[in-house]
Amino acid sequence: MISRIFLPQHVVLINQKLEGYWLISTENRVAEVNGMLRILKFEKCKKEERDAKACRISWKYVDSTAVVKQKLSKEIKKNWQPDYTTTYWVEKKRDKETKRAIIHFEDYTNISLNVVKKELNVYLDSTLTQQARKLK
């Protein structure tokens, strides 16, 4: 009973953990495409946006010099103009078998995610498709 009062809903925790900038990586290595890094940004998601299933995510490619020691340059943050923006929402209940949260993006289905400390693993069905590390 007390935990229900003082702990926020699981979906709130997931959205709070996602908020910020993430660097796409694979097997603990930075994923580069022609010397460019793919950066995701999960926007701050208010309760009304969660209820409307309208949280926002955007991404863009940046030069590899924009990230130093897991820190995204202030210039990129200040002038964030994404290549792509979409909405997402996270289901309140985790998948019982995999213990992963189910996330929904426009035009994508069967995606789940697992946030472990500052790492994000994205699964399509049961296959790990992308990994990301949180940036400062």
Each residue's pLDDT tens digit, 41-95: 999 999 999 999 999 999 999 999 999 999 999 999 999 999 999 999 999 888 8
Distance of CA 78 to the CA centre of its chain: 19
Tell me the whole-structure pTM to 2 decimals: 0.86
Domain that holds residue 130: 2-134
Q: What is the dihedral of CA 57, 60, 65, 68, to 10 degrees?
A: 10
pLDDT digits (tens, 9 = 90+) for 26-45: 776 777 778 899 999 999 99
Dump pLDDT digits (tens) for 100-125.
999 998 878 889 999 988 999 999 98
Number of domains in the chain: 1
